[in-house]
Amino acid sequence: MNLITNKAKVLLERFHPMPQNAVSIQIPIVPSKEKALRSTLDEINSNAADNRIIPFAQFDSVHFARFIILEGIDDEKNYGTTLVFMANIDGPISTFVDQLANKCPKGIDKIFKSCTAYPAAAHRSRSSRREFLLAHSLDTQAFYVNTIGRTALQIRQQSELQESLQVFLNSLDQDTIESAKLLRETVIEFVTEQPELSWAIAKQAQPSLLWRSIENVRFTALLAFGLLILLWAWPVLVSWALTLRVKEFSDEEDTKRPDLNYLKQLRASEDIAAHNPFAAIGYLKSGWLRKTTASSLLVAAQVVLRHVFNKGDLAGVPALGLDGVDTIHFARWTMLDDRKRLLFTSNYDGSLESYMVDFIDKVSWGLNLIFSNGKGYPKTKWIVKDGARKEQRFKDYLGNHQIENQVWYTAYPHLTANNISNNEAIQNGLRGHMSERSARSWLKRF
Amino acid sequence: MTSNSMLDLNDIQGIIARGYSSLAAASYLLLSITDGQTAKPWLRDTLGQVTFADMTSGMQAVNIAMTHSGISKLNNDSVILDSFSNEFRTGMTTTHKQHILGDENESAPSTWDWGGPNTKTVDVLLLCYAIDQTHLDQLVESLLVGSNENGLSLIKQLGTEKLENAKEHFGFRDGIGQPFYKEFASENKKHPNNNVNNTVALGEILLGHENGYKRLTQRPMVPKKLDPRNVLSQSCDNDALNDLGLNGSYLVFRQLSQDVSQFWKSMQELEQKTTSPDPIRLASKMVGRWPSGTPLVASPDHDIDDGEDKNNFEYHKEDSEGLKCPLGSHIRRTNPRDSLEPEPGTKKSSDFSNRHRLLRRGRPYGKPFDSSMDPKVFLANLDKEDKPESRGLHFICLNANIGRQFEFVQHTWANNPNFNGLYKDSDPIIGNRFSNNLKQDQFTVQQCPARTQYRGLPSFVQMKGGGYFFVPSKRALTFLFS
C-alpha cells in the first residue's frame, strides 16, 4: 500500500511539482543501538556542513536539515524511540533521497543501521537504501515556505552578489557620484564585467506560467469549496464553535514551569547563527471533536500557507489589521502516532525569546487556532483569543514541549529571511530601466 | 488580574522610584555571605537604613539587592528558590548567556574582575548614595561595621564619578531616554519623557503589577506554611501562596569599561577616508544623539547645545529610512520607539517597543579623560595618557522580566548584526564585534544616493563584571532576613 501511495506521489510531483518540499522520515530505533546513534549524530552536528557522514553542504538543494531522536508516546510500555530526519529542500523528495543514497551510502548505513528493519549488509544497495528511506516517509500536514520558489543555491549566490557589491560601493569615491541613476549604471557595468557575477544580470528562473495557472485554479477551486461549506454547513460550524467554547471551560492548562536544567540543555546549542531551529511536540487533546478540529484546521492552514502566505509574510493580513511575521524561513506541522501527537518544527531568525515575543504579540490568533488542540496549552477563548497572549503560561508551555535537535544544518547561517529577500531585490534591480527615484530606492537596499 | 490601585510606596525600594540625582556621590558594595544564619541580624540592622520610595532622600540613601546565590544562603527552601525567574536563577555567565549578551572574547566572564567564574560569588549588593564623597565615606564605613564578624565579607567596593553635564565617558550626555511611569511621575517631573508613547506599564518594572500585556509577570512566591506570620501579602492570583515578588524588581548590573582615547582615535581613522572628516559627527551618528544629547532626528546636521533634554521624538514619520539617525545607531537599537513592525508609526509599534524597556540607574566610574567632558578637547589631547585610565560605566537597569527586557534589548536589538535589515552591523557603541562565527564590525550610515559603510570597527567597551540581582520589597526583605 505504502509503495503505491509513494508511486502516486512521485507521479504527482512530476506532473505539478512544488518547487520546495518537506522531507520527513521517521524510523524506530533498535534500543541497544541508540547510544551509538547518538554519538554518530553528535559527530555530524559538530560540523553539519562538512563531515564524513553526511556533508550537507554538498547538497545544493538543501536549505535546512535536522535529526531528532524522538521519545515514544507515554502510554507505550515498550521502548518507542524513533529517529526523525527532516529537511527543507528544492525539487522533488525522490530526487533528494536518490542523491543521498548516491553520495553518502556509507553515511546512511552508519546512521540508519541503528534503526529496525534496515537492510542487512549483504542486501544494501543504492535502491534498497532509497526504498528504505522512502518507505518511512511521513506526510506533512501543513508546510510553510517563506517564499515559494526561492532556491537555496539562489539564496547563496545572491548573498555573494550583495557582498561583492557592498565592497564595490565602498571602493567608490562618494564625491564622484552624480546621481542614483548613474551610480546604478556603474554598478551594473561592474557586475557585467565580473565573470563570476555575470549570472546576476540574467533573469532568474521562475515557476512557469502553466505552473502558476494550475496553482491559481487549485486555489480558486479550494476557495469555492470552502465557501460552499460555509454556506451550506454554517449551522454545523456554529454549533461546532459553540461546543468548542463550552469545552474550553474544562480544558486543563499546564501550570508546571519547565525544568531549568532542561531549558539550559536546550539553550546550550541555540543562538550560534542568524537563525535557530525550533522543535516541539505535544499530545492532542483527546476526543473525536478535538482531533477532527486539529486535522481540519491543518488542512485549511495548508491551503492558506501554500496559496496566500507564500511571499515572506506569515499571517499578515493588513486589510484585517492582522500583523504578520517575516522571520520564519520554513515551518511544518506533522501528525505522529496515529494522530496522538503533533510535531512542530521551524527555522526562525533571532533568539527563542524574540520568536516567542513575535508569537505572542503578532500571530497569537493563528497559533491558538492550531495549538489550542494540544493538551496543556494555555486556555483559549473562542479558539483564537487568550492562549498565547498569556505570556508566561505560553513560554512555559513551549519550554515543556520543546525538544532538542541532535543535528541541525543551515545552508546560509549568516542570513535572516529579511536579508534574503533584500538580496533578491538587489539582483532584480540590476535589470531594466529605472527612474532616478526608483534607482534611489534600489540603492537603499545596500 | 489587577492589583490594588493604591501603591504602597513604603514597601518599594527608593532606587525603583528615583535615581537619587541630588546625591552626587555613590558607591556599590559587593558582599558575599559566609554564614547565612549569623548574617541575618546584621542584614536586619541594615534594613533599618534602607531608603524606600516614600522617603525623601535627604543626605544619603541605601538600597539593597541580592543574587540568587545570596537568597539561597538565607533561605534554602527549593520551592521558594525555584519560584524566581529562569534568567535570575541562571545568572549571566553560562555559555548561552555569553552568546546572548555578547560577552565573548575580551569580554568573557572568565576575565571579569567580579561576578565571573574565577572570582568570589557575589551575594549582596548595597547601593550607597550620599550628598558628597565625605558623607559617602562615612555612610559606607558605618554600614560595613561588624560585617566581617557577622557572616559577611566585602568582595569589592565600586566607586562612581559624577561627570560634567551628566555625560558618559566618551563625552555624550546620557540617561535622557528613560521610560515614563506615571505612578512615579512626581519623581520624573524634570524629564521630558511624559509623552503618551513613552508611558510604560508599571508592571514592566515593578513585580505584582499589571505589565504591558495587562497581566502579571512571573514572580517569586512562598507557600503559606513557610510564612506563618504572613510577613508577605497574599498572592492575588493564588490563595495558597504569599507574594515574595510584589513591589520588587530585578536589577541588571554590568561594569562596562570604556577606552576613551581608542574610541576617538578610531573615529579619526574611520573618517580619514571621507572627504570632509568629522569624528564628532561620525560618533554622533553612532550614538544617535549629539554630545549635548540633542537627537539626530531633531537636528541631523549639527548639535544644538541649549541645555535642554530632548526626548519627545519618534522615528517613523521623521526618518523611516535612517537618513538622519542611522538605522543601526545605538539609541535606535536600544529603544526603537515607533520604528519597528508591527505597523511602524502607530501606537501598536510603540507598545511593542515599550514591552522591552529598561529603567536605567547606572553611573560612570573613573576620572574623566578631560574634566570638560568636551569631545573637541578630547580630540586635541588624544595622547595625553601613557596608559589608559580605568574608567567606564556601571550600567545598572531595572526590569520585571530580564528575558523579555534586558536580554532581548541586548540580543535582538543591540548585538544583532541583522537588526533593521542590516547585515554585519552590531551596536556601534556597545556591540560585540564577533558573533555567529563571523566578524560583525560594520557601521552603515544611510545616505542618498549611496550609503557610507565603515568597516573594521573595534569594540569600544569591555565587560569587567556583572550579575543579575533581585531588589526585594520591604516585606520581602523582612521575610528573607528573619
Tens digit of pLDDT for each residue in A254-304? 999 999 999 999 999 999 999 999 999 999 999 999 999 999 999 999 999
Name the one residue in this structure whose C-alpha cell is 554590568: B254
Helix (H) or strand (E) holding A277: strand A275-283
The residues, ordered by sequence, that sit 6+ positions from A230 with a Cβ below 8 Å of its Cβ are: A237
- Asked if A103 and A95 count as a contact pair (C-beta separation under 8 A), the reply is no
Residue A78 within any structural domain of the chain: yes
- Residue of B103, B135, B130 lying closest to B461 (CA atoms): B103
With respect to residue B4, please indicate whether it lies within any of the assigned structural domains: no
Pick the last residue of a domain from A138, A167, A195.
A138
| Interchain CB distance below 8 Å, A391 and B449 | no
Higher pLDDT, A202 or A49: A49
Do the chains contact at A274 and B418, CB–CB below 8 Å?
yes
Considering the domain boundaries, does residue B15 fall inside one?
A: yes
CA B326, CA B284: separation in Å to the nearest integer?
Answer: 10
Model confidence at A79, in pLDDT bands (50, 70, 90)? confident
Output the CA torsion sign for A94, A96, A99, A104. negative
* Contact between B20 and B14 (Cβ < 8 Å): yes
Distance between CA atoms of A295 and A146, rounded to whole angstroms? 22
Q: What's the grid cell of residue A426?
A: 538587489
Query: Tell me, what CATH number does A105's domain have?
Result: 3.30.70.100
Which segments of chain B have a pLDDT < 50? 1-4
Rounded Cα distance, A30 and A42, in Å: 18
Q: Which of A79, A106, A138 is the last residue of a domain?
A: A138
Number of H helices, E strands in chain A: 15, 10
A305 and A278, same structural domain? Answer: yes
Gap from B171 CA to chain A (nearest CA, Å): 29
Copy the grid coordinates of residue B457.
570597527
Flag whether A145 is in a domain.
no
- Domain extent at residue A182: 152-205+416-443
Mean pLDDT of all residues in A20-32: 96
Residues of A in contact with B208 (CB under 8 A): none
Nearest to B172 by CA among B283, B256, B310, B322: B283
| Residue B348 forms contact with A (CB below 8 Å) | yes
Q: Whose CA is closest to B239, among B248, B230, B247?
A: B230
Residue A219 resides in a domain: yes
Whether residue A259 sits in one domain with residue A181: no
**Based on the domain organization, do B119 and B260 belong to the same domain?**
no
Q: Which of A189, A251, A186 is nearest to A393 (CA)?
A: A251
Q: In this structure, are A227 and A366 located in the same domain? A: yes
The b/e string for A94-122 (b: 16+ C-beta within 10 A; e otherwise) is bbbbbbbbeebeebbebbbbbbeebeeee
Is residue B348 domain-shared with residue B211, that is, in the same domain? no
Mean per-residue pLDDT for A229-233? 93
CA distances from B52 to A418, B210, B474 (A): 47, 21, 8
Residue B253, SS3? strand
CB atoms within 10 A of CB B27: 21
Residues 144 through 173 of chain A touching chain B, CB cutoff 8 Å: 162, 166, 169-170, 172-173
Residues A278 and A405 in one domain: yes
Task: Verify whether the Cβ–Cβ distance A390 to B421 is below 8 Å.
Answer: no
- Residues B248, B388, single domain; the answer is no
Based on the domain organization, do B210 and B107 belong to the same domain?
yes
- Cα pseudo-dihedral B2, B6, B9, B15, rounded to 10: 40
| A300 located within any domain | yes
Residue B285 lies in domain:
256-357+367-396+412-466
Residue B46 to residue B69: CA distance in whole angstroms:
19
- Please give, rounded to a whole number of angstroms, the shortest distance from the CA of B126 to a CA of chain A: 28
B430 within some domain: yes
Q: Are residues B28 and B48 in the same domain?
A: yes
How many degrees, rounded to 5, is the angle at CA A40 between CA A36 and CA A42? 115
Is residue B431 within 8 A of residue B102, CB to CB? The reply is yes
Same-domain status, A238 and A380: yes
Closest CA of chain B from A259, distance in Å: 9
As a whole number of angstroms, the distance between CA B170 and CA B261 comes to: 9
Confidence of residue A176 (pLDDT cuts 50, 70, 90): confident
Same domain, A188 and A304: no
- Confidence check on the interface: ipTM exceeds 0.90, yes or no: yes
How close, in Å, is residue B454 to chain A by CA atoms?
A: 8
Tell me the three cell numbers of residue A206. Answer: 521562475
The answer to whether the CB of B101 falls within 8 A of the CB of B93 is no
Residue B1 confidence (pLDDT): 37
Mean pLDDT of chain A: 94
> Are B316 and B345 within 8 A, CB to CB?
yes
**Chain B contacts of A179, Cβ < 8 Å?**
449
**Same structural domain for residues B307 and B206?**
no
List CB contacts (< 8 A) between A264 and chain B. Answer: 90, 94, 96
| Residue B240 sits in the same domain as residue B275 | no
Helices (H), B29-132: 36-47, 68-74, 78-81, 86-90, 95-101
Contact B16, B205 (CB under 8 A): yes
Provide the grid cell at A6. 509513494
Q: Are residues A312 and A426 in the same domain?
A: no
Checking phi first, is residue A376 left (phi over 0); if not, alpha (psi -120 to 50) or beta? Answer: left
**Angle made by CA atoms B197, B199, B201, in degrees to the nearest 5:** 130
**Does B416 sit within 8 Å of A270, measured CB to CB?**
no
pLDDT in tens, A111-163: 999 999 999 999 999 999 999 999 999 999 999 999 999 999 999 999 999 99
User: Is residue B402 one of the residues assigned to a domain?
Assistant: no
- Round to whole Å and give the CA distance between B56 and B39: 28
Residue A260 within any structural domain of the chain: yes
Number of domains composing chain A: 3
Residue ranges of B 350-389 with Cβ closer than 8 A to chain A? 352, 355
Note whether residue A146 is domain-resident: no
Q: Residue A36 belongs to what H/E stretch?
A: helix A34-46
Distance (Å, whole) CA A79 – CA B378: 70
Nearest to A57 by CA among A184, A138, A153: A153
Residues of B in contact with A177 (CB under 8 A): 449-450
B53 and B24 share one domain: yes
Using the structure block, give the residue that is written with the C-alpha cell 557595468.
A189
Helix residue ranges per DSSP H, A105-208: 105-112, 126-135, 152-171, 180-193
> In this structure, is residue A345 part of a structural domain?
yes
User: How many independent structural domains does chain B possess?
Assistant: 2
Can the peptide bond before residue B449 be classed as cis, meaning omega within 30 degrees of 0? yes
> Is B474 within the bounds of a domain?
yes
Residue A58 has a pLDDT of 97
Please give, rounded to a whole number of angstroms, the shortest distance from the CA of B356 to a CA of chain A: 10
Q: Answer yes or no: is pLDDT of A3 > 80.
A: no
B458 and B474 co-located in one domain: no
Judgement on whether residues B127 and B83 belong to the same structural domain of the protein:
yes
* A409: pLDDT strictly greater than 80: yes
In a domain, A147, yes or no: no
Indicate whether B249 and B264 sit together in one domain: no
Whether B405 is in a domain gets the answer: no
Q: Are residues B233 and B198 in the same domain?
A: yes
Give me the pLDDT at residue A318, please. 81
Average pLDDT, integer, range A336-347: 95
Same domain, A282 and A313: yes
* Residues with Cβ within 8 Å of residue A139, at least 6 apart in sequence: A24, A334, A335
What's the pLDDT at B194? 59
A385-386 and A20-28 strand pairing:
unpaired
Instruction: Mark whether A214 and A350 lie in a shared domain.
Output: yes
Both A218 and A291 in a single domain? yes
B3 located within any domain:
no
How far CA A389 is from CA of A395, B166, B343, in Å, comes to 10, 40, 19
B375: Cβ–Cβ under 8 A, 6 or more apart, which residues? B170, B171, B264, B279, B280, B283, B291
Burial B82-96 (b: 16+ CB within 10 A, else e): ebbbbbbbbbbbeeb
Q: How are strands ordered across the β-sheet holding A341-349? A: A142-145, A328-336, A341-349, A275-283
Look at residue B291 and tell me if it is in a domain: yes
| Residues A426, A285 share a domain | no
Same domain membership, residue A326 and residue A225: yes
Residue A328 in contact with partner chain B when CB distance is under 8 A: no
